[in-house]
Amino acid sequence: MEKNITKKTCLFGISIICMIFFSAPVYAHYPWINLSDYTPETGSALEMTIGWGHKYPLAGFLKKSAVETLEITGPEKSNLKFISDMEIKSQESISTPGAYVVAATRKAGFYTKTAQGGKQASKENLKNVIACSFSHMCMKAIVNAGDGKGKVDNVIGHPMEILPLKNPVDLNTGDYMPIRVLCNGKPFNGYVFATYAGFSTEKETFAYAAKTDKKGNGKIRILKPGVWMIKASQEQHYPDEKVCDIESFIATLTFEVN
């Protein structure tokens, strides 16, 4: 199932408690990787920030203190490090052409909404609790250095992740980006949303939506050239209802199609 989305989207299959939790209306912030160049020349260092908010690509930034893991996989090894509270750079320049995947996770944590306000804690020992969520947020980006190409569907092992089944360097406007979405290593059967930089600056507004099948497979049509982001999310009951109500998972993937 696929269709164009040209106005503000709403989340599907949200439970009653989540509608209370995100009432106002308020949407959960989510992160994505912003690369300064998705197709750098060899000999260049990768430079990036991690976006944070509801408006792609113009929002806030995820700070160093909130990042749990940060890595790059590909034909050669180069460590990534923060050069400021928000800016990230590879320690070594990328000298080998080919496809690389930058991957990161935000520190997982609790957020409990109470009658007195929000708390960065589980609902244990709190009074007047409205709802509690424990969130996992994961992000990846695809880099094609030099004239190199390559596979980019390697599994990183994030709690939730989007696997691009085709390298975007091989895509043109009108083509489909095939993807597979995993949550806790299992196929995700649900909706994914996609947009491109410049489509809209409104909150939670996407250019395209599709539904994955029982194997977690789906596809996004590339409507225009540019930098794209795909987002998937999943919610389930937290294992111990005395501690929290909802366990949520969010994954994003950014890439460029010329």
Residue 7, pLDDT above cutoff 70: no
CA separation, residue 45 to residues 35, 52, 61, 256 (Å): 11, 23, 20, 18
In this predicted structure, what is the pLDDT of residue 12? 37
Quick one: CA dihedral 106, 107, 112, 116, positive or negative? negative
| Percent of the chain residues topping a pLDDT of 70 | 90
pLDDT digits (tens, 9 = 90+) for 206-231: 999 999 999 999 999 999 999 999 99
Q: Strands 88-90 and 117-119: what pairing?
A: unpaired
Q: How many domains does the chain have?
A: 1
For the stretch 20-35, pLDDT in tens is 333 333 468 999 999 9
Give me the mean pLDDT over the 117-123 stretch.
95
Residue 15 has pLDDT above 90, yes or no: no
Mean pLDDT, all residues of the chain: 90
Is residue 149 within 8 A of residue 132, CB to CB? The reply is no
Of the candidates 184, 148, 143, 147, the residue with the CA atom closest to the CA atom of residue 164: 143
Instruction: Identify the domain containing residue 102 by its residue range.
Output: 2-257
Does the pTM surpass 0.95? The reply is no
**How many residues are listed for the chain in this entry?**
258
